[in-house]
Structure 1
Amino acid sequence: MEPSTALSALLFACFVNLASAADDHKDHAHKEKPGQAHTHDAKPQHGGVVSVIKDINYELVAKADSLTLYVTDHDQPVDTQNASATITLLSASDKTEAKLLPAGSNQLRAQGAFKIQAATKAVAIVKLGDKPGQSVRFVLN
């Protein structure tokens, strides 16, 4: 084998190995840390914003007159009959807090007047039955 051919083969093998390692790193970078939300593989089912905590999907649908939180586990509804949540909306100059109550099979809802604008941050403390409360964060579009 000529030296230039051997060098080309070696460089090609290194390139393939580096590309594979980059893909492995990319997969590890998306894994959530305990208590950390991620949204890369969760699609909204109701037109809201999704955060995933410990394999539970929380989808917040924020409207001017209501806040609805849908809760699913691997696309299966989570019973919210004995659940509750407190949500805080934070915008540039406003802070609003609301209590969300059971409103259907996998929903928690608050009715009222809410200032919803782009980049509003929402933090919900969700309590599902007798489990400890879970902090769930959202950034509204």
Structure 2
Amino acid sequence: MKLKRFWATAALLATLGTAMAAQEHEHGHGHEPMHGGVVVEASDMDFELVAKADVVTLYLRDHGKPAITKGGSGKITLLSGSDKTEATLVPAGDNKLEAKGSFKVASGTKAVAMVTLPGKKAINVRFALK
């Protein structure tokens, strides 16, 4: 009896896992980096942070499709050890916001971005660089 219940539960979990994977693929909710950065999901959108010493770029996807950033804005705060750097993010293409400057972006750096897109509430996104 216990063995039947075990196999029934295992079959149910396998079915659910397959269905969830299919739904994720179907709706474009994969959270893989497309630009070599760190991806975080917030407010049903994917945010990919690509941080370099001279530029910080935030790519936005809405349900797997590039999000329109025209008219949007943001602010990013980078915390690297005891150093804190803030920068303004501005639209820099169809689906990205960008800040240029001098940034400390070592492994372990934490980043907090506040993004505002036209017609939407501000979104707070947190990252940890690898």
Bin of the TM-score, shorter chain as denominator length: 0.7 to 0.9
Pairwise CA RMSD of aligned residues? 2.3
> Max radius of gyration: which structure?
1
- Secondary structure at 1:14 match in 2: helix
- Aligned match of 1:124: 113
Identify unmatched segments of 5+ residues in structure 2: 18-28
What percent of counterpart residues are identical?
A: 49
| 1:16 to 2:33 alignment | no
- Aligned match of 1:32: none
Q: Runs of 4 or more off by more than 2 Å in structure 1? A: 17-26
- Aligned match of 1:73: 62
- Aligned match of 2:74: 85
Identify unmatched segments of 5+ residues in structure 1: 1-9, 27-39
- Aligned match of 2:127: 138
Shift of the alpha carbon at 1:132?
Answer: 1.7
Q: TM-score, normalised by structure 1?
A: 0.76
Correspondences of 1:1-12 after superposition (within 5 Å): 10-12=1-3
- Alignment length, in residue pairs? 120
Q: TM-score, normalised by structure 2?
A: 0.82
Provide the rounded CA distance (Å) in 1 between the counterparts of 2:85 and 2:13: 43
